[in-house]
Structures are given as structure tokens and as C-alpha cells.
Chains A and B, each alone.
Chain A
Amino acid sequence: MTAPLVVFFVLAALAVIGAVSLILQKHPIHSALSLIVVMIALAGLYLLLGAEFVAAVQIIVYGGAIMVLFVFVIMLLNAGIEEHTSISKMAGVPGLLLVVALAGFVAATIARSTESIQATSQTGEMASTLGISNMIFKDFVYPFELTSFLILVAVLGATVLAQREKS
């Protein structure tokens, strides 16, 4: 049992526990905090995979911006404990089966593949951040500019939506 493997299992367990906790918690704020745990665990996994820049972005953007936004909205809307209403007929046992089917199918397919894809190289052949920036500003510059446009649209949309009506 090598050290990376141990770290992997720890982080994986953390992520899964966080996800399960998201499901089981009653108050949305607790779900939000569980989700933050998942994100941190995932960031750790990215580091293990040698993607430093992605790990940093994950923490800064996801953890620092998106989840903060979620927490703020929960606070704003005074979200309370989830009430228990009768479960809809469609989402019941069939739903459970579907989930199991979906996840199990993907997992089983991957697990069955005999040619397990091994890591071909260690990280650092091309310094991660340098390489990513090269790719973004050379090969993927067009999508990059489009995403900036996308963010602009989102900002405008959010502003419009959140306006209070002029009574």
C-alpha cells in the first residue's frame, strides 16, 4: 500500500462521506457545508493527480465563490428545515433503481476494462500552470473569450432577476 494510494482512499472516503451527508442532512445549510467538504476533498485529489492549477481554481472559484453564493442565498431566503411532504409517485423505488443502474453501469464498464489506463507519465513534464496557460491562450483562445462573454451575460441575468419590483 503505497502512500499515494492511502492518500487517495482517505480523500475518496472524505468525498463520499461529504456527498452522502449532503443527501442525509435536513437543513440546507448543512448540505452546503457538506458540499464544501466534497470540494476540498476533490481539490486534494486534483493535487494527487498533479493538477495544481485546477486544484487552486477549484478552491478559489468553487469553494470561495460558488459555495459562498449558496450560503448567502440560503441565509437570504431563510431556508428552513425541509418539510416532509408525500413523496411523488414517480420518484420512489424506480428512482432508486435508476440511480443504481446509472452509477453501477458506468462503474462496472470501467472496472471491466482489462486494459486499465495507467498513468503514462508523472506530473511535471510540462509544468502544469505553464502548460495550461499555453493551451488556453493559444489553442483554446476562442472558447476562452466566449466564456468571458458568458460570464457577462450571467452577471446581467442575475442582476435583472434579483431586482425588486418597483411597486
Chain B
Amino acid sequence: MVPTNYYVILSAVLFGLGVFAFIFKRNIITIFMSIELMLNAVNLAFVAFSQALGKLDGQVFVLFVIVVAAAEAAVGLGIIILIARNRQTLNVERVNLLKL
């Protein structure tokens, strides 16, 4: 059997990579994708613990996370489309109307 620690470490690594992409990429869509990556990493942790504890609560929660991620992706991409239309750019640094 694969020890649960391995799964959790993998989850942490994936999460960190997701954060890295979130900080360093300039394309809005790529940033959004990194958010999805982070959510996936968390899902992995949930399922791993669910198997370790022998209860199915973790997997149920994963289902809910997936549903929420889907809804969020839909609305978020809608917003991105609007931004792209208004600002004519997909570079997050150009979206800086709040800057003084």
C-alpha cells in the first residue's frame, strides 16, 4: 500500500506549484488555470484521507468541490471575456485601473 503521507506530500507540491503559477504568470486565463490546479491538489488530499480513515466523507466533499469549481470556472471565464473585451488585453498587469 502506498502510505498516505506520499499522497499528501504530492498534494502539497501540486498546491505549491499552483501558487507559483498564480503569482508568476501574466495571462489571466493561465492564472485561472492555476486556481484549478490548486483545487485539484486539495481534492487529492481529501481522497487520500478518505481512504486512510475508511470513511466516504472525503469523497463526497470532493464531489462538492468539483461542482463548485465548475460553477466558478463558468462565471470566472465570463468575467475574463468581459475584461478582454474592455481592456483589449489578457495581460493582468494591464488591468490596473486601481493603480494611483
A and B touch in the complex (CB under 8 A): yes
6 A–B contact pairs at CB < 8 A? A49-B47, A49-B48, A121-B54, A126-B56, A132-B59, A150-B67
Q: Measuring CB to CB, which residues of chain A are less than 8 angstroms from any residue of chain B?
A: 2, 4-5, 8, 12, 15-16, 19-20, 22-23, 28, 31-32, 35, 38-39, 42, 45-46, 48-51, 53-54, 57-58, 61-62, 65-66, 69-70, 73-74, 76-77, 79-80, 82-83, 85, 87-88, 91, 95-96, 98-100, 102-104, 106-107, 110-111, 113, 116-121, 123, 125-126, 128, 131-132, 135-136, 140, 143, 147, 150-151, 153-155, 157-158, 160-162
- A102 proximity list for chain B (CB < 8 A): 15-16, 19
Give B81 Cβ to nearest chain A Cβ, in Å: 6
Q: Which residues in chain B, 32-65, are within 8 Å of chain A measured between CB atoms? A: 32-34, 36-37, 40, 43-44, 47-54, 56-57, 59-60, 62-64
Contact A103 B15 (CB under 8 A): yes
Q: Which residues in chain B, 1-52, are within 8 Å of chain A measured between CB atoms? A: 1-10, 12-21, 23-27, 29-30, 32-34, 36-37, 40, 43-44, 47-52
Given the known inter-chain contacts A116-B4, A135-B60, please indicate yes or no for A61 contacting B14, CB distance below 8 A: no
Main secondary structure of the interface of A (DSSP, over half): helix
Contact A118 B7 (CB under 8 A): no
Residue among A16, A54, A131 with most chain B CB within 10 A = A54
Question: Given A51-B62, A91-B24, 6 more contacts at CB 8 Å?
Answer: A16-B10, A35-B33, A51-B50, A79-B29, A79-B90, A82-B26
Contact B52 A151 (CB under 8 A): no
